[in-house]
Structure 1
């Protein structure tokens, strides 16, 4: 399966606009975080399956790097789906202290018997066919450090196998500036609309192929931000931008 190019123009968002999209989704459109997270994770799992696992996850190892926030929750949803499809999934946590919605997703995985590891055991993970980066999203504040930084460096030893969710961990989504360290991904699946920084020419060496996933943002919401957004996902829930 290949993911189509969009049939309509795709604008990009500032970080401040993305924060406002999230706020309006929850507070006014009542499309809450679990629903957005489910959409993100479903699309990430589908892209991992097609782009990295040859269309068939059965028996193939996938390492899922999860941070404590929304991006972590999204990759935990993807971990559930990939495990259900037969992949051998290992979840590696940057922190044991997850925010409530990702913690709920982690609880589901534990009930399923999916392996969950602390960051300091990542060296013991079997060589993965694919790595899913959900360590840090567009809310990056300063350079990654501690366990998150260690996991980014581990992922960069396998960069040709890495899919970053929303933005490569360590990159400023608004400007494209990179920290030390930053995930160097083979592909990035960004959400709703691409962030400005992902479209900076220098970002391509970190994002790899750029894809966009539908998290069900209504066109009327974008119109409130002065954006005219057409039916980008009319043919597919995931489209390829580069």
Structure 2
């Protein structure tokens, strides 16, 4: 697949939309590929666990559930902390939550982070902490409970890996929207994001690894043509 230099928020949305609507590849397949690709990256890092998945209610959280499934299947200890009401999950994220739950993976849900000390305890023995709170669509100032959750993650001793981009980082500007995850690694999907070109973003993304999620080559070719025109 030809490389795309970087994707804006709108381009990220268009890749997903065209893949699903024009080519008929279901969104859940893209989520599976994203999660499996991130899991494969963790394997190259010789991760043995425990791994702590920090999930939100959107597709970023859904990616986290997929990562958790594959870790569990590989015999790597994994637990999930969900900063949302499970009943509010929808679509592909809800499906992957249900699968992870039925597999017996430990999932703690605290939608309002009413017990921050419990979240600190959850993270305290994590070798790796996976940030799957917020995705590329986030705009505006980060608000509670994510502000507190992000601060607690940054204070935790484990290595941090961000899913697609660090929670709290603006996809297009590369600048934090208030509190922002400080990751050692970022597993970003399809291509680097537009904001990653900004030098200030590096302190939050750490090392960036691009993960292929199976979007058709034609979509990427079209983006290349638009970017070069």
Aligned pairs for 1:1-242 (under 5 A) are 10-51=4-45, 55=46, 57=48, 60-96=49-85, 97-119=88-110, 120=115, 121-125=118-122, 126-158=124-156, 161-227=159-225
| Mapped contact 2:4–2:224 kept (Cα < 8 A) | no
Change (3 A) 1:45 1:188: same
Q: CA deviation at 1:199?
A: 2.2
Is the CA contact 2:4–2:223 (under 8 Å) kept in the aligned structure 1? Answer: no
Q: 1:226 Cα shift? A: 4.1
Aligned to 1:235: none
- Tell me how far 1:208 sits from its aligned partner: 0.2
1:161 & 1:50 partners in 2: Cα distance?
Answer: 15
Q: Is the 8 A contact 1:164 1:188 kept in 2?
A: yes
TM-score by length of 2: 0.88
1:21-62 deviation line (CA, Å, top 9, x unaligned) = 1110110011121000000100111222332xxx253xx211
| Greater fraction helix | 2
Distance 1:228 1:189 in 2: 25
Tell me: CA distance 1:217–1:228, structure 2 relative to 1, closer, same or farther (3 Å): farther
Map of 1:3 onto structure 2: none
C-alpha separation in 2, matches of 1:122 and 1:50: 28
What TM-score, normalized by structure 1, do the two folds share?
0.84
> What is the rounded CA distance, in whole Å, between the counterparts of 2:72 and 2:102 in structure 1?
12
Structure 2 residues without counterparts, runs of 5 or longer: none
Cα displacement (A) at 1:18: 1.3
Task: Tell me how far apart the structure 2 counterparts of residues 107 and 172 of structure 1 sit (CA, whole Å).
Answer: 30
Give the 3-state SS of the residue equivalent to 1:95 in structure 2: coil
Q: Residues 228 and 99 from structure 1, CA distance in 2 versus in 1: closer, same or farther, beyond 3 angstroms?
A: same
State the shift of 1:9 in Å. 5.0
- Is the 1:63–1:89 contact (alpha carbons within 8 Å) kept by the matching residues of 2? yes
- Quote the Cα distance in structure 1 between the aligned partners of 2:55 and 2:149: 10
Alpha carbons of structure 1 residues 183 and 211: separation in structure 2 relative to 1, 3 Å? same
Runs of 4+ in 1 over 6 A off after TM superposition: none
Q: RMSD of the TM alignment (CA)?
A: 2.0
CA–CA separation in structure 1 for the residues paired with 2:11 and 2:144: 29
